[in-house]
Amino acid sequence: MLGRMKLNDAAQEAVVDSTNGEGLEEIDQFARMSKEQVQRLCKVLRRPGGGGAGVILSGQAEENLQAMVYYIKHQKRMMELALKRAELNEQKAK
């Protein structure tokens, strides 16, 4: 999934690696992120505070990550609405 967002291999590893505190592996974790959190994540990936070298992360990759988080949130909202509609229709049918 992250490769499609134009993150290189090093950046993908840094996002899912739990030793640096990110550990983002599940879609729900991305769905809980705000735009500011995505920006902060990208900043940390580029220059981590641990003194190690950061990873190369393009501006396009950051935009793609933000779009991915928005899309995940949108899909979750649409599924929730569809479930609510189905429940309402079921109640009306009774």
**What's the pLDDT band for 52 if we cut at 50, 70, 90?**
low
pTM (whole model) above 0.75: no
62 pLDDT higher than 70: yes
Distance from C-alpha of 37 to C-alpha of 6, rounded to nearest angstrom: 18
**What's the pLDDT band for 46 if we cut at 50, 70, 90?**
confident
Distance from C-alpha of 2 to C-alpha of 38, rounded to nearest angstrom: 13
Distance from C-alpha of 13 to C-alpha of 39, rounded to nearest angstrom: 18
